[in-house]
Amino acid sequence: MRLLSAIIGLLALPLVTQPAAAKAKAERLYVVECGQRTAPNVSPWTPGVNVGKPIDFVDTCYVIKHGSDWMVWDTGLPDAIVSTPLADPNAWRRTNTLVGELTKIGIKPGDVKYLAVSHSHPDHIGNVELFPQAMLLVQQAEYNLPNQDGSPRFKATHPVTKLQGDYDVFGDGSVTILSTPGHTPGHQSLLVELPATGAVLLSGDAVHLRTIGTPRVFRLSTSIRRSHWLRCSGWPRSEVAPENWTGS
């Protein structure tokens, strides 16, 4: 009888449940200017609108701090352009170097553990070999895409993880590569969870301008549609950061 009473007493105790684990966040996201240019006609990015109107573009790189690890997303135009600018007034130009901007943050290229690019166009992979030790995270379809002359876009000696879809970089949901093909066969975007800002989607060339987000334009490619879905779905405080984004 005493045993039965003890069992009943234990069953009557309130259940102690573990609190839900907080969603992991990247510690900080740095926005780095990696090139700029003035395009003489914005209408290729806004079909039928503002034909002949010039627009200033910024080529943006990102540096992510996650605990003691560092990641670089997109590497911009080659640092060499700073000392040898192109003659074309509409060409990309640079007034700073990626190495110099990393120094301002307090790190060296050798400190970077992961390197990923949205796609393999020259204004995004110009400084990949500044980070020969960093694990390159790129979609298989993009890695296999040759240059026009048939040469590879990435050095065969560079360590690489060839992705086939979405990828959780740090294994905790704080930084996730999303497959967004369309602009190129292996285009990808980066979803970063930040402590104050919340979810930010670095869209690469899936979205060039904030003003491109109309249903008519979103039908143009899979990558744009997926970026639109992420912005409008349940991601808390999510923001799509287009290529021409300076962190404001």
| Residue 7 located in a structural domain | no
The tens digit of pLDDT for each residue in 158-214 reads: 999 999 999 999 999 999 999 999 889 999 999 999 998 888 888 888 776 665 544
Classify residue 17: in a domain, yes or no: no
Q: What is the mean pLDDT of residues 126-141?
A: 97
* Domain presence at residue 247: no
Q: Is residue 82 part of a domain?
A: yes
CA dihedral (40, 46, 49, 52) in degrees, to 10, reads: 10
pLDDT value at 28 more than 60: yes
Residue 99 lies in a domain: yes
Distances (CA, A) of 1 to 5, 13, 30, 75, 169: 6, 19, 67, 74, 57
Domain limits at 112? Answer: 24-241
Q: Give this prediction's pTM.
A: 0.77
Which amino acid belongs to residue 17?
T
Is residue 218, in this structure, part of any structural domain at all?
A: yes
| Structure-model confidence comparison of residues 154 and 22, the more confident one | 154
Is residue 183 in some structural domain? yes
Is residue 86 within 8 A of residue 66, CB to CB? The reply is no
Residue 96's domain is classified under what CATH number?
3.60.15.10
Task: Report the SS3 class of residue 208.
Answer: coil
Q: CA 57, CA 71: separation in Å to the nearest integer?
A: 24
- Residues β-bridged to residue 33: 60
Provide the domain count of the chain: 1
